[in-house]
């Protein structure tokens, strides 16, 4: 049975959590394939809000197995805290599986992330300071520790000694900080975390393939998004993994032919948190309005998100790179009280016009959006669950975006709640 991927198409926080949860209703496995607890995926079920960082969004259904794949970077302390918080809310996390090949985020990764940001000064990336970049860097350097190392104290200590031998030099000699104590780290990771994480560790590649071979439904849940992708995003203002749909192949251990459906999640406008270019960014009252009405503050970090008009150039690029088969549009309701709306249909830079994302970073920084104006609808649409009941201007807005992108917009979100959406193809 071919699998489904849910992927962010902008700069993150599109509402992947909500739609992953919605689609997970029909799924047997929900697999995270990259990123770490830099993600914050919000689900609102029966008025109760869940903000997930590492645990896949399928966890709320008893029939799904949530899986953390090999491509994820795992801070075991955060994972256990999240499991405890979910358990306290009555969510059963015992079905969770964690790949033994996933890499561990270590205390020095977090410290190095913060120090590196400080070192960059005004040019900082605005990372979440969760240690994501340094953990993936250690993976690439082949000095990382993996989840499976929690099961073997001797190996864990050996690898820690090698990694810390290097990182303590950097901490003390480059950043003038105190060295970290390997015994303290080992005590926390081996003594406190390992016994509790051990029951969740599994061969997740085997699990995913056995599920697909027996006709079960598998969903790959992307974190972050296309334009935060290490290869395809607005480098260097990106994360250190591959959120694009192809990342699911590497980060979960499947082939391209195993994926049949790719659902891109797009907000009805654009937000970004952290530094980097943002051609349609708004610095006026409309931008403020989107922050206020859309509650555009980071799920975990609480940072204010930057806001801007919908950008069809980004979505066309995302459709290509991810092989989108459908789009779920979120937060259409946030536009309810605007008199008119702008949609960026292309960029202009010098004499050139761009319908796809320019590859050159300087062009992206310099790009002037070309807008088309559409009328607003001045109606509360948050209760609409039938596409036929949508005000004409709202239906036209969605149809216009669809025609600009060239990929069907199937699901449309009109509020944070699980039931607040409609299906245009139903």
Interface stretch with ligand GDP, choices 38-46, 122-130, 172-180, 363-371 (CB under 6 A)? 38-46
Pick what 273 binds: ligand IMO, ligand GDP, Mg ion, none; C-beta below 5 to 8 Å, kind-dependent.
Answer: ligand IMO
Minimum Å distance from CB 155 to ligand IMO? 27
146 DSSP 8-state letter: B
Contacts of residue 183, defined as CB under 8 A and 6 or more positions apart, other chains included, come to none
Pick what 144 binds: ligand GDP, ligand IMO, Mg ion, none; C-beta below 5 to 8 Å, kind-dependent.
Answer: none
CA distance 120 to 78: 27
Nearest to 342 by CA among 286, 289, 389: 286
Minimum Å distance from CB 51 to Mg ion? 8
- Give the N- to C-terminal CA distance of the chain in Å, as an integer: 23
253 vs 308 by CB, closer to Mg ion: 308
Contact of 145 with 163, CB cutoff 8 Å: yes
Minimum Å distance from CB 278 to ligand GDP? 17
- Mask: binding to ligand IMO, 92-131, rule CB under 6 A, as x and -? ---------------------------------xxxx-x-
Interface stretch with ligand IMO, choices 144-152, 220-228, 249-257, 378-386 (CB under 6 A)? 220-228
Pick what 130 binds: Mg ion, ligand GDP, ligand IMO, none; C-beta below 5 to 8 Å, kind-dependent.
Answer: ligand IMO
- Mask: binding to ligand GDP, 300-339, rule CB under 6 A, as x and -? ------------------------------xx-xx-----
Interface stretch with ligand IMO, choices 147-155, 218-226, 310-318, 332-340 (CB under 6 A)? 218-226
CA distance 15 to 166: 39
- Of 24, 197, 223, 329, the one binding ligand IMO by CB under 6 A: 223
Identify the burial level of 51 via C-beta atoms within 10 angstroms of its C-beta, where 0-12 means exposed, 13-18 middle and 19 or more buried.
Answer: middle
Catalytic residue list: 13, 41
Does 40 contact ligand GDP by CB under 6 A? yes
3 state SS of 335: helix
Peptide bond into 236 cis (omega under 30): yes
- Mask: binding to ligand IMO, 17-46, rule CB under 6 A, as x and -? ---------------------xxxx-----
3 state SS of 300: coil
Nearest to 372 by CA among 349, 394, 346: 346
Residue 113, number of CB atoms within 10 A of its CB: 24
> Which residue in the block uniquely carries the two structure tokens 């749909």?
245
Identify the burial level of 148 via C-beta atoms within 10 angstroms of its C-beta, where 0-12 means exposed, 13-18 middle and 19 or more buried.
Answer: middle
Does 224 contact ligand IMO by CB under 6 A? yes
304 DSSP 8-state letter: B
209 vs 303 by CB, closer to ligand IMO: 303
Beta bridge partners of 353: 348
Contact of 236 with 28, CB cutoff 8 Å: no
Site residues for ligand IMO, 243-282, by CB under 6 A, read: 273-274
User: In the structure encoding, which two tokens stand for residue 346, read together?
Assistant: 């292309």
Total residues in contact with ligand GDP, by rule CB under 6 A: 21
For the chain, what is the total number of helices (H) and then of strands (E)? 13, 20
Beta bridge partners of 309: none
Does 40 contact Mg ion by CB under 5 A? yes
Minimum Å distance from CB 309 to ligand GDP? 17
- Of 6, 16, 134, 232, the one binding ligand GDP by CB under 6 A: 16
Minimum Å distance from CB 409 to ligand GDP? 13
Nearest to 41 by CA among 235, 304, 222, 252: 222
- Of 9, 10, 38, 42, the one binding ligand GDP by CB under 6 A: 42
Site residues for ligand GDP, 334-373, by CB under 6 A, read: 334
CA distance 312 to 315: 5
* Binding interface with Mg ion (CB under 5 A): 13, 40, 299
* Binding interface with ligand IMO (CB under 6 A): 8, 12-13, 38-41, 125-128, 130, 132-133, 223-225, 228, 237, 239-240, 273-274
* Binding interface with ligand GDP (CB under 6 A): 8, 12-18, 40-42, 44, 299, 330-331, 333-334, 413-416
């Amino acid at each position: 049975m071919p699998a489904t991927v849910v992927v962010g198409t902008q700069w993150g926080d599109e509402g992947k959590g909500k739609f992953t949860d919605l689609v997970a209703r029909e799924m047997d496995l929900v697999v995270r394939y990259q990123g770490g607890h830099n993600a914050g995926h919000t689900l609102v079920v029966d008025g109760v809000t869940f903000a997930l960082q590492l645990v896949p969004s399928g966890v709320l259904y008893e029939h799904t197995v949530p899986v953390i794949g090999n491509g994820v970077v795992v801070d075991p302390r955060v994972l256990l805290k999240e499991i405890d918080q979910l358990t306290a809310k009555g969510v059963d996390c015992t079905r969770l599986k964690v790949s033994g090949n996933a890499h561990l985020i270590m205390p020095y990764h977090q410290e190095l992330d913060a120090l590196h940001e400080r070192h960059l000064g005004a040019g900082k990336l605005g990372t979440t300071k969760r240690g994501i970049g340094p953990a993936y860097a250690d993976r690439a350097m082949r000095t990382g520790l993996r989840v499976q190392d929690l099961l073997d104290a001797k190996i864990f200590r050996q690898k820690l000694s090698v990694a810390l031998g290097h990182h303590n030099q950097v901490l003390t000699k480059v950043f003038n900080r105190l060295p970290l104590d390997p015994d303290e780290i080992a005590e926390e990771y081996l003594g406190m975390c390992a016994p509790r994480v051990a029951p969740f560790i599994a061969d997740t590649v085997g699990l995913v393939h056995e599920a697909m071979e027996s006709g079960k439904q598998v969903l790959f849940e992307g974190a972050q998004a296309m334009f935060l992708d290490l290869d395809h995003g607005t480098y260097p203002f990106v994360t250190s993994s591959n959120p694009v749909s192809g990342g699911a192949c590497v980060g979960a251990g499947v082939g391209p032919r195993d994926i049949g459906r790719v659902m891109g999640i797009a907000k009805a406008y654009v937000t970004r948190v952290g530094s980097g270019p943002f051609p349609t960014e708004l610095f006026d009252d409309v931008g403020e309005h989107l922050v206020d009405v859309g509650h555009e503050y980071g799920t975990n970090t609480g940072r204010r998100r930057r806001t801007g008009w919908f950008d069809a150039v980004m979505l066309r690029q995302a459709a290509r790179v991810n092989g989108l088969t459908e789009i779920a549009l979120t937060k259409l309701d946030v536009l309810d009280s605007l008199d008119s709306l702008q949609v960026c249909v292309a960029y202009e830079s010098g004499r050139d016009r761009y319908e796809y994302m320019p590859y050159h970073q300087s062009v992206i920084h310099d790009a002037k959006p070309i807008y088309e104006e559409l009328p607003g609808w001045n109606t509360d649409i948050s209760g609409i669950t039938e596409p036929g009941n949508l005000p004409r201007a709202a239906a036209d807005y969605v149809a216009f975006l669809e025609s600009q992108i060239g990929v069907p917009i199937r699901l449309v979100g009109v509020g944070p709640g699980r039931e607040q959406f409609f299906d245009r193809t139903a």
